[in-house]
Amino acid sequence: MHTKVICPGSFDPVTLGHIDIITRASKMFDCVVVGVLNNLAKSPMFTTAERIALLEKATQGLPNVEIVGFDGLLADYAREQGITAIVKGLRAVSDFEYEFQQALTNKKLNPELETVFLTSNSEFMYLSSSMVKQVASLGGDISSFVPECVHDEILNRLK
Ligand code: PNS
């Protein structure tokens, strides 16, 4: 069976925690679609096109990973594209309630769609895009938080 899954998120911007989950998913499944969406609860710092470009650079070495941007419901996109599971990283207990709510909503909207959680690597348990943006905008060093190939692009964008 050909397994096609999706790693959805706002990726504003992509962090090493995201790359860890995408890389591990790419070893488990035949095809990993990274879905760049707008989270209606957040106002993004990078446009969708910019976030896609950063992710494309950071996943260049992963041949079974493709980056897409779309609007609308994740559950509908998965149905249209033959995607059977959502793969997400779980960092801490604090993530659980929100992730559980999303997983149950997506299951209701598309009963064929499973949600699979990968435990975050302990090195990235604390990491979030919001934290990266805050540290970078205050002049802090983000080199251990984001992929090397996108580090300067993030700093330039924040100037
Ligand atoms: O990285 P984020 O911001 O936690 O990602 C949240 C995201 C984009 C995955 C979520 O907001 C989402 O799935 N949005 C698409 C709209 C949708 O399908 N909403 C209903 C299920 S939550």
pLDDT tens string, the chain, 159 residues long: the values are: 889 999 999 999 999 999 999 999 999 999 999 999 988 888 899 999 999 999 999 999 999 999 999 999 999 999 999 999 999 999 988 889 999 999 999 999 999 999 999 999 999 999 999 999 999 999 999 999 999 999 999 999 888
Task: Give the pLDDT score at 42.
Answer: 81
- Identify the DSSP state of 120: P
Sheet of 114-119: strand order equals 65-69, 31-36, 4-9, 85-90, 114-119
Query: Residue with the nearest Cα to atom 1 of ligand 1?
Result: 9
At 26 the pLDDT is 98
Strand-pair partners of 68: 35
> What is the rounded distance in angstroms from the CA atom of residue 145 to the CA atom of residue 156?
16
Compute, in angstroms, the gap from residue 131 CA to the centroid of ligand 1: 19
Cis omega (within 30 of 0) on the bond before 44? no
pLDDT score, position 117: 97
Q: What is the pLDDT of residue 62?
A: 98
**Cβ-Cβ contacts under 8 Å for 117 (sequence gap 6 or more):** 87, 88, 89, 90, 99
- Cβ of 13 less than 6 Å from ligand 1: no
Note if the pTM is more than 0.85: yes
DSSP class of residue 122? Answer: G
Q: Ligand 1 centroid vs 9 CA: distance in angstroms?
A: 6
- Active site members: 18, 42, 91, 129
- DSSP per-residue codes, 47-66: -HHHHHHHHHHHTTT-TTEE
Q: pLDDT value at position 38?
A: 84
* pLDDT at residue 32, as a whole number: 98
Whose CA is closest to atom 10 on ligand 1?
39
- DSSP letter at 45 equals S
**How many whole angstroms from 135 Cα to the centroid of ligand 1?**
24
